[in-house]
Structure 1
Amino acid sequence: MMDEIVKELTLLLMYLTSWKEDVGFAQARRTWKGYPFETINKLTDEELISGSQRSKSVYLTDEGVKLAEQLGKKYLNEEIKL
């Protein structure tokens, strides 16, 4: 249970500290991945984030953004849209 909470809060923090970056004809949310590798790997495996293992930053997937916004409601009791 605690692992799930850590994973959710990490995703929420990644979302809250993300920025928009142009990727071709669209924009994507990019964030630093300065969190425990085990948690980063779980988020990657669940396709909530994506990016190179060599890179210091990752992209939040559309699903990751949606879940992070829901987690804002769950943990902060407010709707968050960046």
Structure 2
Amino acid sequence: MKDQIDELTLLLLYLTSFTDDYGLGKDQRSWKGYPFKSLNELNENKYIIGSKRAKSVHLTEDGIKQAQGLMKKYNIVDDK
């Protein structure tokens, strides 16, 4: 069940993400209002990056690709 929670947490991070233009480029970010255990696991797997003090995280390229694969797995249409 833990793996499914981590998958769904990543999927929710992706679906609620926004593009942040910080001057040197654009970044995909999401607010981190999810269980810290799952966020820590996603960080260890290099799907997200963020400090423990920040209120948001950055989705990595691998994280975005994984989330897009999960959308197909769970039959969710991307309307972004």
Q: TM-score, normalised by structure 2?
A: 0.91
Q: Distance in 2 between matches of 1:49 and 1:12?
A: 12
Q: Distance in 2 between matches of 1:61 and 1:81?
A: 20
Matching of residues 2-81 of structure 1 within 5 Å? 2-78=1-77, 80=78
Q: Distance in 2 between matches of 1:77 and 1:22?
A: 27
CA contact (8 A) 1:69 1:81 kept: no
Count of residues paired in the alignment: 80
Q: Once the two structures are aligned, what percentage of the paired residues are identical?
A: 47
Q: Hey, which bits of structure 1, 4+ residues long, moved more than 3 A?
A: none
Q: 1:77 to 1:31 in 2, by over 3 A?
A: closer
The gaps in structure 2 that reach 5 residues or longer are none
The gaps in structure 1 that reach 5 residues or longer are none
